[in-house]
Amino acid sequence: MKPRDLSDLALRNLREAILRNSLTTLGIAVGVASLVAMLSLGVGLQQLASKRLSQSGLFDSVFVTPRVNLRGMGRAAMPPSSDQAPRLLDESARQEISRLPNVVEVYPQVRFFTEVRFDGKPFATMVAGMPASSKASGSFDGMQGSFFSGDAAYETILQSEFAKELNAQTSTLIGKDLVLRYAERQSIPPNPMDSKATSASNSESLPGGFSVVPKEMRLRIVGVVDTEPASGFGGYGNGRLLIPLQVAMTLRAAQVNDLRDIVRGTSSAPTFASLTVRAKGPAYVEALEASVKNMGFGAFSLLDASKSLATFFRVLDMLLGIFSSLALFVATLGIVNTLVMAILERRREIGVLKALGASDRDVKQLFFFEAGVMGLFGGIFGLFLGWLIGRALNFGTNFYLHRRDLPSVDISSVPWWLVLFSIGFAVLVSLVAGLYPASRAARLNPVEALRYE
Amino acid sequence: MPNGQPAIRLDHISRHYTMGEAVIRAVDDVSLDLPSGEFLALLGSSGSGKSTLLNLIAGLDRPTSGAVIAHGQDLSTVSSLELARYRRQTVGMVFQSFNLLPRMTLEENVELPLRLAEVDRSDRAARVHEALERVGLGKRITHRPGELSGGEQQRAAIARALVNRPKILLADEPTGNLDSATGESILMLLKEIQKNPGMTIVMVTHERPLAERFADRLAVMGDGKLLSNGAAR
Ligand SMILES: Nc1ncnc2c1ncn2[C@@H]1O[C@H](COP(=O)(O)OP(=O)(O)OP(=O)(O)O)[C@@H](O)[C@H]1O
Ligand SMILES: [Mg+2]
């Protein structure tokens, strides 16, 4: 039989027992729906977790330190773990690392404690420098106001808890100025420069002494953020007053408490205590870590943690999949049952078809097709149903979160592969369920089927 | 009317059923040559093996031993796929209980063999109409079998058997469910169909008088054996 005639007859047969076939199809739909709901939940939670974790910068970052730091005084006899000699972690090293493949940005951790004045009142707080790449990390999604207008803008974003100390109505802060007070180290002979000068590093090259001059910097508040974008690796505590990294570096270079840098430096150039290398994604971290080590630095990442996280979600997906497959398995029994019933009912019809010249294969294909169509419809309807369940779970969760003033999340996600997979799986499972009834129908003896009752 | 090589040759065929210890010889060593274009009536008491023999000729069943040769093809040796093709292309079947599919219209019922034989869609409607026209049901094509009388249903079944232009028409008690007047009109229709060049007809019946009036030849079975085989009248 030609495919079109086959489908004509199959659809006709399905319509003739519309109630029974609809119920069977519904059974498949429920099975697929539970599969889709469970898997979309698994996928959604995984996306949520990995989004949060990548925002924290933990899993796509490599932390670089000079190797001299890692080697204790009494361990000098230890053989070098790399053929490269230990190197200074200075600006040229930073640039070299940033030229490695798949590196987004290389930046030092800049945090310091200082005093700010707002509305004439003093506040003590932790200042953190934010690299430009942090804008895209998602940490600032949902913030009030906007991100810094430029890499070296005299602007600040306040962490909302600190912002509340300044003014309970945090949104009114945006656009206002605050004053950051810091002490600038000035070389002798004094350099008559404006406090906003960025040439502090130049003055360091002068071998003379220096004096400490209190300075102020006016910063425009451009945003307030609920998350803690500066709470990355390092355990320095969280930055409450976020400023562009470049501004922070300038300030820090001028800070008195950086004295140790000068003392330690063998050359006149400043060195970094540590650098954070942000990769394009967690997948590149391993290679990056190795390259940095080869360059003669100490490097480590939380790769192992992220690997076990991925494994956890794979196992979670699998478990969810297995449990929901049980529902689909029950549904396939429904298909087998429906088709076996159909054989009994359509005994005579099968006999007639065979007498008219239908081959065993024609009969088999007919039943197979009917099973496949039920699977297809069940799959499509089940996908829709599963999506609805996922939406409902999402809605419920967010309703709960909202009542507790927590930011909303997306816990269920139906990616395109799940769409194709669930429909394909429903059809496949239905075809497998149709195997036995179809071959039984095909084997039916036409003489017995046609015997006059 | 008979001419040339036989349309059907039965060569010592048997069909035995084993029921535990007992062997039922439904058809027992039957040999018969049926020339092309002949109308054979198969008579015999109930249980004598008429339907079994007809099903062997139809390729719906295979003999336990012996050979069924139809138009040069030995049905006892071909594959089941070939047997299905033989049923599609060479034979048409009519049953006592009509066996029309109740949820299909006459048009759809008659179209079935054309679907199975993969006849082009564009040719089908004309052939279906022609077949139904020929049995006098040209105006009932959209009706369902349940809306027709017994005689009309049997005519529709005959149209379905003929639509793919078979060379052999097999009918198992086609008048068994009909009153005598209707039965007679069905036989007149079969006689008419026999005029198609080369159309061979085998009809199982209980009604000897009808068989004698319309068939060319009578074969009588008893206990699975062929008791007599000779010209009618
Ligand atoms: N599948 C089977 N298993 C066992 N015995 C069978 C089977 N089919 C037919 N028979 C037996 O074979 C014999 C011939 O049956 P068949 O149907 O050919 O008779 P018939 O001449 O057509 O009778 P009727 O006129 O009543 O239709 C009967 O005795 C029947 O019981
Ligand atoms: Mg019979």
Q: Please give the residue range of the domain that contains residue A70.
A: 60-108+276-301
What is the structure's pLDDT at A236? 42
Q: Mean pLDDT throughout A271-279?
A: 81
- Residue for token pair 């102020």: A216
**Number of C-alpha atoms within 13 angstroms, CB side, residue A273?**
12
What is the structure's pLDDT at A381? 95
B86, amino acid identity: Y
Mutation to probe ligand 1, out of B14, B42, B45, B48 (largest number of atoms < 8 A from CB)? B48
User: How many angstroms separate the first and last alpha carbons of chain A?
Assistant: 29
What is the structure's pLDDT at A286? 82
Task: Ligand 1: list residues with CB < 6 Å.
Answer: B 17, 19, 24, 26, 44, 46-52
pLDDT bin (cut points 50, 70, 90) of residue A267 is very low
Q: Alpha carbon of A348 to those of A435, A447, A453, B86: distances in Å?
A: 21, 10, 10, 20
The pLDDT tens digits of the residues spanning B106-141 come to 999 999 999 999 999 999 999 999 999 999 999 999
Chain B residues within 8 Å of chain A (Cβ atoms):
55, 58, 60-61, 80-81, 84-85, 87-89, 93, 95-97, 99, 101, 103-104, 112-113, 115-118, 160, 164
Is A355's CB within 8 Å of B85's CB? no
Q: Does position A329 have pLDDT exceeding 80, yes or no? A: yes
Is B116's CB within 8 Å of A352's CB? no
Residues A220 and A323 reside in one and the same domain = no
Contacts from A316-324 at CB under 8 Å and sequence distance 24+?
A316/A42, A316/A45, A316/A46, A317/A39, A317/A42, A317/A43, A317/A46, A320/A38, A320/A39, A320/A41, A320/A42, A321/A35, A321/A38, A321/A39, A321/A42, A323/A34, A323/A38, A324/A31, A324/A34, A324/A35, A324/A37, A324/A38, A324/A39
pLDDT bin (cut points 50, 70, 90) of residue A370 is very high
Q: How far is the CA of B219 from the centre of ligand 2 (A)?
A: 15
Residues A146 and A179 reside in one and the same domain = yes
- Kindly report the CATH number assigned to the domain that includes residue A88: 3.30.70
Structural tokens at position A60 = 């796509």
Q: Does position A151 have pLDDT exceeding 60, yes or no? A: yes
Q: Mean pLDDT throughout A101-124?
A: 85
Q: How many Å apart are CA A407 and CA A387, to the nearest integer?
A: 22
What is the structure's pLDDT at A86? 66
Q: Does position A69 have pLDDT exceeding 60, yes or no? A: no
Is A16's CB within 8 Å of B103's CB? yes
Strand partners, B171: B94, B203
Closest CA to B34 of B82, B77, B1: B1
Name the residue facing A446 among B60, B85, B115 (closest C-beta): B60
Strand partners, A211: A186
Q: How many Å apart are CA A354 and CA A362, to the nearest integer?
A: 9
What is the structure's pLDDT at B69? 95
What is the structure's pLDDT at A85? 59
DSSP states of A420-441 as a string?
HHHHHHHHHHHHHHHHHHHHHH
Structural tokens at position A80 = 């070098």
In this structure, are residues A434 and A368 in contact, taking their beta carbons and an 8 Å threshold? yes
**8-state DSSP, A143:** -
Residues A205 and A163 reside in one and the same domain = yes
| A36 CB-near residues (< 8 Å, 6+ apart) | A382, A383, A385, A386, A387, A389, A390, A414, A418, A422
Is A447's CB within 8 Å of B88's CB? no
Counting residues of chain A whose pLDDT is more than 70, the rounded percentage is: 80
Structural tokens at position A433 = 């369920």
Residues A197 and A288 reside in one and the same domain = no
* Residues, CB-to-ion distance under 5 Å, ligand 2: B 51
Q: How far is the CA of B94 from the centre of ligand 2 (A)?
A: 12
Apex CA A235: angle with CA A76 and CA A81, to 5°? 25
Q: How many Å apart are CA A437 and CA A274, to the nearest integer?
A: 69
Q: Mean pLDDT throughout A74-95?
A: 63
- What is the number of the ligand closest to the CA of B15? 1
Q: How many Å apart are CA A48 and CA A3, to the nearest integer?
A: 45
What is the structure's pLDDT at A196? 45
Number of domains in chain A: 3
Cis peptide before A189 (omega within 30 of 0): yes
Q: Mean pLDDT throughout A388-414?
A: 85
Q: Does position A305 have pLDDT exceeding 90, yes or no? A: no
Q: Does position A95 have pLDDT exceeding 90, yes or no? A: no
Residues A260 and A145 reside in one and the same domain = yes
- Sequential pLDDT tens for chain B (233 residues): 444 578 999 999 999 999 889 999 999 999 999 999 999 999 999 999 999 999 999 999 999 999 999 999 999 899 999 999 999 999 999 999 999 999 999 999 999 999 999 999 999 999 999 999 999 999 999 999 999 999 999 999 999 999 999 999 999 999 999 999 999 999 999 999 999 888 999 999 999 999 999 999 999 999 999 999 988 87
Q: How far is the CA of B173 from the centre of ligand 2 (A)?
A: 7
Q: Which atom of ligand 1 lies closest to the CA of B44?
A: 21
Q: What is the CATH number of domain B1-90+166-233?
A: 3.40.50.300
Q: Does position A36 have pLDDT exceeding 80, yes or no? A: yes
**A232 vs B: CB within 8 A:** no
What is the structure's pLDDT at A281? 75
DSSP states of A398-415 as a string?
HHHHHHTTPPP-------
Which protein residue's CA is at the shortest distance from atom 3 of ligand 1?
Answer: B17
Residues A203 and A255 reside in one and the same domain = yes
Residues A90 and A14 reside in one and the same domain = no
What is the structure's pLDDT at A452? 58
SS3 state of residue A254: helix
ipTM of this complex prediction, to 2 decimal places = 0.94
DSSP states of A291-303 as a string?
HHHHTTEEEE--H
**A165 vs B: CB within 8 A:** no
Across A11-146, the runs of DSSP E, i.e. the strands, are: 61-66, 103-108, 111-118, 121-130, 144-145
What is the structure's pLDDT at A235? 41
| B171 CB-near residues (< 8 Å, 6+ apart) | B93, B94, B95, B190, B201, B202, B203, B204
Domain with CATH 3.40.50.300 in chain B: 1-90+166-233
Q: Does position A74 have pLDDT exceeding 70, yes or no? A: no
Q: Which atom of ligand 1 lies closest to the CA of A452?
A: 27
SS3 state of residue B162: helix
Cβ-in-10-Å burial (0-12, 13-18, 19+) of B61 comes to buried
Q: Does position A306 have pLDDT exceeding 80, yes or no? A: no
Q: How many Å apart are CA B81 and CA A301, to the nearest integer?
A: 67
Q: Mean pLDDT throughout A126-142?
A: 77
- Residue for token pair 């562009």: A244
**A278 vs B: CB within 8 A:** no
Cβ-in-10-Å burial (0-12, 13-18, 19+) of A20 comes to middle
The pLDDT tens digits of the residues spanning A204-261 come to 444 556 667 778 888 999 988 887 766 654 444 467 888 888 888 777 665 544 444 4
Name the residue facing B99 among A1, A348, A362 (closest C-beta): A348
Residues A88 and A157 reside in one and the same domain = no
Q: How many Å apart are CA A293 and CA A97, to the nearest integer?
A: 11
DSSP states of B130-145 as a string?
HHHHHTT-TT-TT--G
What is the structure's pLDDT at A253? 61
Q: Torsion-angle region of residue B224: left (phi > 0), alpha (psi -120 to 50) or beta?
A: left
Q: Does position A291 have pLDDT exceeding 80, yes or no? A: yes
Residues A141 and A174 reside in one and the same domain = yes
Structural tokens at position A182 = 């810091």
Q: How far is the CA of A90 from the centre of ligand 1 (A)?
A: 102
pLDDT bin (cut points 50, 70, 90) of residue A141 is confident
